[in-house]
Amino acid sequence: MLGGRALVAAEANKALDLVGGKTITIGSVTGGDRFVAGGRLLIVGSDRVDAAALDASQRWTWTAPTGTTSVSLVAATPTTVLARTCAEGACVLNGIGAGGATAWTMPVPASTSGDPVRAPEGGLPAYGILPAGERTWLLVDPRSSRTILRVADRIEASPDGAVVLHERLPDGRCALTTGTDVNSLSSSIQPCTDAQPTASWLPVPDTDEVLAWWRPWSPRLHITHLTPATDGARLVTSERATLLAVDADGVAVREGARVVRYLFDRAPD
98 inside domain? no
Residue 239 lies in a domain: yes
Average pLDDT over residues 117-146: 94
Higher pLDDT, 49 or 227: 49
- Residue 250: inside a domain: yes
Residue 214 lies in a domain: yes
Higher pLDDT, 1 or 243: 1
Residue 196 has pLDDT above 80, yes or no: no
Can you give the residue range of the structural domain that contains 248? 209-263
**Per-residue pLDDT band at 31 (split at 50, 70, 90):** confident
Task: Tell me the pTM.
Answer: 0.81
What would the mean pLDDT of 171-185 be, rounded to a whole number? 89
**Within-domain flag for 255:** yes
Is there a domain that residue 54 lies in?
no
Alpha carbon distances (Å) from 122 to 57, 190, 229, 242: 21, 29, 31, 20
Q: Does the residue 119 lie in any domain?
A: no
Above 90 in pLDDT, residue 38?
yes
Residue 199 within any structural domain of the chain: no
Q: What digits encode the pLDDT tens for the residues 7-21?
A: 999 888 999 999 999
Average pLDDT over every residue of 250-268: 79
How many structural domains comprise the chain? Answer: 1
